[in-house]
Amino acid sequence: MSKTHVYIIGSKGIPAKYGGFETFVEKLTEYQKDKNIQYHVACMEENSQKSEIIEDEFIYNGAECFNVSVPKIGPARAIYYDVKALKYAINKAKKNKDSKPVFYVLACRIGPFIGSLKKEIDAVGGKLYVNPDGHEWLREKWSKPVRRYWKVSEKMMVKYADLLICDSKNIEHYIKEEYKEYSPETTYIAYGTDLENSKYTRDTSEVKKWFAAKEISEQNYYLVVGRFVPENNYETMIREFMKSSSTKDFVLITNVEHNKFYEKLKKETNFDKDSRIKFVGTVYNQELLKYIREQAFAYIHGHEVGGTNPSLLEALATTPMNLLLDVGFNREVAEQNALYWNKNNLTDVIELLEKNDKQIFIDFYQIAKEHVRLRFSWELIVKQYECLFDEYKVGNDYIKKNL
C-alpha cells in the first residue's frame, strides 16, 4: 500500500519554540501512530538574506522537514513564505510521484495566489486542505487595508479548498454561512493540549528564581497568558480587577515590550499605581509555564476573536478555576466547566469567587480536566487527523461518517 504524503504549510516549523500552529505540528508528528502517513513540514529559515534556495532538509519526529529562506519584508513575509513553501511542496510531490498527496495549509494568508497553485495541486493528483484559523480580519492590530486583504484572502481560500478543517465549531458554522455560495466542504477537529502535570516543583531552581524575581507567591495570584492585543480585552480585565478588593496579584504573562498599546493602557487605567498588577514578560520554558498555571488561584481569559484557543485549553487542564469572557468560542470549549463574565461584571465574579469555599475549586478542576481529557487530548486529536489524512483516498463520505 502506498504511503499518504501530507505537506504542511503555514507554521514557522518544528521543533516548535512557540505558537499555536507550531505546537500543533509538533504534536501531530510527536504522537503519530499511523506509519502509512509521511509528513513533510515547511520551516522558516530565519535570516535576512534574499534567497530562492531551499537550504536543507532534515528529519524531526519522523517528518521530512525543509527549510525555506525568505527575506524580512514585514507583514508580507508570511505570505511570501507560504507561497514559496507550497510551490516547493508541489514540486517535491511531483518529483517523487506521490500518490494523491495532501497539501494542508494553515491559515488563509495566500488567497489571491491560491487559484494558480490549486491548478498545480490538481495536476499532481493532490488535494488542498485548509485550516481557516480564526477571524484574523477582525484583529485591531491590522490596518483597514490589511483587514480587507485578510477577508478577501479568506474568501479565496474557502473557494478553492477541497476541505476546510476547522478547530472550532463556531468557525465551521461561520464558514458554511458566510461562504454558502461555494458550498464549502468542512469538518471539525479541535486543537489539543497536554494533560500531564509539570515536572517542576516548589524546590526546582527555575521556579524559585522566577517567583522570587517577580515577587509572586504560589496560589496567591490571578493569571493571564496571551498575546498583548486589544481584542484579548486587557483593558477590561485590568480595570475590573483594579475595582475589586482582592489582595491577590494579577499576573500577566505577555509580550508587552512597552509598545504603544501598553503605554496607552497605562495612561488610561493607571495600572502602574496598583501594586497588584504585574506584567512579568514572556515565559518560554514550558515546564515553568505549566507550573505557573498550576499554582495560580484562578485564570482569567479575555480572548474574543479566534477558534479553539491553546491558552484556554492549557488553563482548563492545569488551573484550579477559570474565569472566561462569555463568548461562543469560549463556551464551546469549556461548556459548564468554568465561570463566565461579561465586560461589566468581572469585578463581581472575582468578589464572588473569593467568598466561596475551597471545595468549589476542587470540584471544578477535576471536572474540567476530565472534560479536556475526553475532548482535547493530543492523542485524540492526532488520531482524528490520521483518520482524515489516511482515509482521504476513499473520499469525503468516509470522513463525514468517522469524524
Same domain as 382, residue 289: no
Same domain as 9, residue 143: yes
Same domain as 178, residue 32: yes
- pLDDT tens, position by position, 205-214: 999 999 999 9
Contact 342, 324 (CB under 8 A): no
In a domain, 45, yes or no: yes
In a domain, 65, yes or no: yes
The string over 280-317, giving b where at least 16 C-beta atoms fall within 10 Å of a residue's C-beta and e elsewhere, is beebeeeebbbbbbbbbbbbbbbbbbbbbbbbbbbbbb
In a domain, 50, yes or no: yes
What is the per-residue DSSP string for 285-315? -HHHHHHHHHT-SEEEE---SSSS-HHHHHH
Same domain as 279, residue 225: yes
Contact 269, 235 (CB under 8 A): yes
In a domain, 113, yes or no: yes
Q: What angle do CA 22, 327, 230 make, to 5 degrees?
A: 65
Contact 34, 383 (CB under 8 A): no
Residue 31's pLDDT is 96
Q: How many domains does the chain have?
A: 2
In a domain, 199, yes or no: no
Identity of residue 90: I
State whether the Cα torsion 206-211-217-221 is positive or negative: negative
What is the per-residue DSSP string for 26-75? HHHHHT---TTEEEEEEEEE-------S---EEEETTEEEEEEE----TT
In a domain, 198, yes or no: no
- 79: domain CATH number is 3.40.50.2000
Locate 54 and state its grid cell: 531551499
In a domain, 181, yes or no: yes
d(CA 306, CA 135): 6
Same domain as 292, residue 247: yes
Residue 249's pLDDT is 98
Domain of 172? 4-192+378-402
Question: Strands of 127-131's sheet, edge to edge?
Answer: 57-60, 63-69, 37-45, 4-9, 102-106, 127-131, 163-166, 186-188
Same domain as 234, residue 371: yes
Locate 372 and state its grid cell: 479536556
Same domain as 229, residue 148: no
pLDDT < 50 regions, the chain: 47-54, 393-403
Same domain as 159, residue 278: no
Same domain as 332, residue 314: yes
User: Which residue from 166, 313, 229 is spatially nearest to 322, judged by alpha carbons?
Assistant: 313
Residue 306's pLDDT is 67
In a domain, 197, yes or no: no
Same domain as 225, residue 137: no
Residue 305's pLDDT is 75
Same domain as 221, residue 209: yes
Same domain as 180, residue 40: yes
Contact 256, 281 (CB under 8 A): yes
d(CA 323, CA 375): 20
